[in-house]
Chains A and B, each alone.
Chain A
Amino acid sequence: MKKTVLVGALALAGLSAGVASAGTLDDVKARGTLNCGVNTGLTGFANPSASGEWEGFDVAICRAVAAAVLSDATAIEFIPTTGKTRFTALASGEIDMLARNTTWTFTRDVDLKFEFVGVNYYDGQGFMVPKELGVSSAKELDGATVCIQTGTTTELNLADFFRANNISYEPVPVETDNEAQQQYLAGACDTYTTDASGLAAVRATFESPGDHILLPEIISKEPLGPLVRHGDNEWGDVVRWTLNALISAEELGVTSANIEELSGGTNNPEINRLLGTEGSLGEMLGLDGEWAKRAIMAGGNYGELFEKNIGEATPIGLARGLNAQWTNGGLLYSPPFR
Chain B
Amino acid sequence: MSDTHFVRNQMVEEQDPPAATTGVAGWLRENLFSSVSNSILTLLSLAFVYWLLAQALPWIVSPTWHAESLTECREIIAELGYGGACWGIIRERWLQFMFGFYPAELYWRVVLDFLLLAVALAPVLFTNLPRKMLYFSAIYPFLMPWLLWGGTIWNPIVVALGFVIGFYAQRLLKPSIGELAATIAAFVLPIIWWLFVAGPVADALASVLPLSIQAVESRNFGGYMLSITIGVVAIALSLPIGILLALGRQSDLLIVRSLSVGFIEFIRGVPLITLLFVASTLLNIFMPPGTDFDIILRVIIMVTLFASAYMAEVIRGGLAALPRGQYEAADALGLDFWMAQRLIIMPQALKISIPGIVSTFIGVFKDTTLVSIIGLLDPLGLSRAILADSAWNGIVWEIYGFIAVMFFIFCFSMSRYSMYLERKLQTGHR
A interface with B by C-beta (< 8 Å): 1-20, 39-44, 46-52, 77-82, 84-85, 88-89, 92-94, 175-178, 181-182, 185, 201-202, 204-207, 314-316
Contact = CB atoms under 8 A, between A and B. Distances in A.
B58 interface: no
Interface residues of B, number: 66
A7 B281 CA distance: 22
B233 interface: yes
A92 B387 contact: no
B390 A314 contact: yes
B374 A9 contact: no
Interface stretch (B1-9, B251-259, B283-291, B419-427): B283-291
B248 to A, nearest CB: 16
B230 interface: no
B385 A81 contact: no
A185 B194 CA distance: 57
Contact of B374 (A10, A82, A181, A202): A82
Nearest to A78: B219
Contacts of A315: 390-391
Contacts, number: 172
Interface of B: 70, 74, 92-93, 96, 100-101, 104, 137-138, 141-142, 145, 155-156, 159-160, 162-163, 190, 194-195, 198-199, 217, 219, 233, 236-237, 239-240, 243, 277, 280-282, 284-285, 289-295, 297, 300-301, 373-377, 381-382, 384-391, 393-394, 396
A19 B240 CA distance: 30
SS class, residues of chain B in contact with chain A: helix
26 contacts: A1-B240, A2-B137, A3-B141, A3-B239, A4-B237, A6-B145, A9-B159, A12-B198, A15-B195, A17-B293, A17-B294, A18-B290, A41-B385, A43-B390, A52-B96, A79-B219, A80-B375, A80-B376, A82-B374, A84-B375, A94-B292, A94-B295, A175-B373, A181-B393, A181-B394, A185-B394
Contact of B388 (A13, A18, A46, A77): A46
Contacts of A82: 373-375
B199 A12 contact: yes
Nearest to A202: B393
Contacts of A206: 394
A41 to B, nearest CB: 3
B390 A316 contact: yes
Most buried by B among A20, A52, A81, A181: A52
A16 B199 contact: yes
